[in-house]
Amino acid sequence: MADSAQAQKLVYLVTGGCGFLGEHVVRMLLQREPRLGELRVFDRHLGPWLEELKTGPVRVTAIQGDVTEAHEVAAAVAGAHVVIHTAGLVDVFGRASPETIHEVNVQGTRNVIEACVQTGTRFLVYTSSMEVVGPNTKGHPFYRGNEDTLYEAVHRHPYPCSKALAERLVLEANGREVHGGLPLVTCALRPTGIYGEGHQIMRDFYRQGLRLGGWLFRAIPASVEHGRVYVGNVAWMHVLAARELERRAALMGGQVYFCYDGSPYKSYEDFNMEFLGPCGLQLVGARPLLPYWLLVFLAALNALLQWLLRPLVLYAPLLNPYTLAVANTTFTVSTDKAQRHFGYEPLFSWEDSRTRTILWVQAAGSSAQ
Ligand SMILES: NC(=O)C1=CN([C@@H]2O[C@H](COP(=O)(O)OP(=O)(O)OC[C@H]3O[C@@H](n4cnc5c(N)ncnc54)[C@H](O)[C@@H]3O)[C@@H](O)[C@H]2O)C=CC1
Ligand SMILES: CC(C)[C@@H](O)CC[C@@H](C)[C@H]1CC[C@H]2[C@@H]3[C@H](O)CC4=CC(=O)CC[C@]4(C)[C@H]3CC[C@]12C
């Protein structure tokens, strides 16, 4: 992969390329990776928007496949220079079983690693998560922490457990010999809560507010800070890490990097209001309208109802014991490791990220009415 950009055109594979983050990674690669010769987009559900990408100079290959199927992954990876592995089940609402979450997030990642080793693909960037670190089950705050901050990562929920195990597999695979005799070089990127165009939870909050006459009701104290990062900057970090992984293999190989930008530290709800406010919603209450013990009770009731109703219907509200605990625990990062290791600087300012997100929410909301 060391040849100049003009000499050799590279093959990239993006797993989960039709997801919220994946689509931004796909579009960012097409816009900002000059060495790209072929872009393979691998996903269980292919988006219709892929067709519009096939008219450009880069060959875009849509591959409908399942990362839990090793042979499908191997076929997609074969011949790729770089794999950006974003595919995963992002479920903290109880929609999928713990077994399915593990199968996709862990076994799927194992399949990607083995495919790289068997076919000779040398560079793998994995989309991990802040959740690999925390918040932990003890509710310990992680305040302006970085990749070296000591923190007791204790998980019980299937999602963070699966992300932590998958990340460990990726980092441990760094240095393994791939077909052809050269070493595999891996790194893992840990986004905090991603926001931006395509964020379905933000859209759900907006629609919930519209249904409630333009009001949202505060459930979390404003003092609880939650780190957020704009999807375009997360995509850019993936593109840059993939580009630099060869040249800086000794430094970057086996490393983790938090994803960060200039988005402000706010509570999850106050941060959402940066976009929902300009769209006409108002957050009621300077402090939570309900006592925490009542929220805990309501979250537990939701979990019980989900369990009772599961044979009949999927009941998966935003409020459950896990989401309440995460929302109610400060988790913010302050780091420059990605800048120091591979020259990352956010591509989108906070103001630009905010404007783009507002425009998207307005469009998504109008399509809901
Ligand atoms: N959304 C967020 O706030 C954060 C997300 N992440 C990570 O970023 C990655 C992408 O997340 P999002 O874009 O938010 O989720 P998403 O659900 O929008 O995208 C995931 C994509 O993976 C695909 N996928 C799921 N199971 C698959 C399978 N078995 N085979 C092939 N494709 C499969 C889905 O069809 C989807 O297109 C995930 O790995 C997630 O853990 C990390 C931190 C924060
Ligand atoms: C109902 C209220 C308590 C409301 O405030 C609940 C918000 C809740 C749905 C979100 C609060 C924190 C979010 C998570 C956080 O951003 C970290 C994440 C990282 C990921 O890898 C995937 C998404 C998520 C778990 C994210 C999910 C939604 C929240 C729990």
Write the pLDDT tens digit of every residue in 13-29.
999 999 999 999 999 99
Residue 59: count of CB within 10 angstroms of its CB: 13
**Is a pLDDT exceeding 70 seen at residue 49?**
yes
Q: Are 37 and 10 in contact (CB under 8 A)?
A: yes
Mean pLDDT of the 284-310 span: 96
Residues 178 and 305: their CA atoms lie apart, in Å, by: 48
Cα–ligand 1 centroid distance for 86 (angstroms):
6
Angle at 231 between CA 107 and CA 17, to 5 degrees: 45
Three-class SS of residue 304?
helix
Q: Crossing angle of helices 231-244/20-32, nearest 10°?
A: 50
pLDDT band of residue 7 (cuts 50, 70, 90) is low
What is residue 364's predicted lDDT score, i.e. its pLDDT? 84
In the chain, where the domains are located: 3-198+228-262+331-348
Residue nearest to atom 16 of ligand 2 (CA): 193
Cα–ligand 1 centroid distance for 45 (angstroms):
11
Which of 50, 86, 201, 259 has the most ligand 1 atoms within 8 A of CB, as the residue to mutate? 86
Percent of all residues in the chain with a pLDDT value above 90, rounded to a whole number: 94
What is residue 56's predicted lDDT score, i.e. its pLDDT? 87
pLDDT band of residue 4 (cuts 50, 70, 90) is low
For the record, the structure tokens of 18 come out as 């039709």
What is residue 65's predicted lDDT score, i.e. its pLDDT? 98
**Is a pLDDT exceeding 70 seen at residue 303?**
yes
Q: Are 5 and 34 in contact (CB under 8 A)?
A: yes
Q: Is 159 a catalytic residue?
A: yes
Residues 41 and 60: their CA atoms lie apart, in Å, by: 7
pLDDT band of residue 197 (cuts 50, 70, 90) is very high
What is the number of the ligand closest to the CA of 106? 1
Q: Are 250 and 214 in contact (CB under 8 A)?
A: no
Catalytic residue among 12, 159, 322, 344: 159
What is residue 137's predicted lDDT score, i.e. its pLDDT? 85
pLDDT band of residue 198 (cuts 50, 70, 90) is very high
Residues 333 and 352: their CA atoms lie apart, in Å, by: 21
Residues 6 or more apart whose CB falls under 8 angstroms from that of 179 comprise 117, 118, 119, 120
| Multiple choice CATH, 3-198+228-262+331-348, 3.90.600.10, 3.40.1080.10, 1.20.58.220, 3.40.50.720 | 3.40.50.720
Closest C-alpha to 266, from 215, 314, 231, 228: 228
Residue nearest to atom 36 of ligand 1 (CA): 19
Amino acid making up residue 117: V
Phi and psi angles of residue 13, each rounded to the nearest 5 degrees, phi first = -120, 130
Residue nearest to atom 14 of ligand 2 (CA): 193
For the record, the structure tokens of 212 come out as 């409630």
For the record, the structure tokens of 280 come out as 């006409």
For the record, the structure tokens of 8 come out as 């050799």
Q: Are 40 and 104 in contact (CB under 8 A)?
A: no
What pLDDT digit, counting tens, does each position of 100-141 carry? Answer: 999 999 999 999 999 999 999 999 999 999 999 999 988 999
pLDDT band of residue 228 (cuts 50, 70, 90) is very high
**Is a pLDDT exceeding 80 seen at residue 365?**
no
What pLDDT digit, counting tens, does each position of 51-75 carry? Answer: 999 988 999 999 999 999 999 999 9
ipTM of the complex as predicted: 0.99
What is residue 8's predicted lDDT score, i.e. its pLDDT? 78
Average pLDDT in the chain: 95
pLDDT band of residue 368 (cuts 50, 70, 90) is low
What is residue 3's predicted lDDT score, i.e. its pLDDT? 52
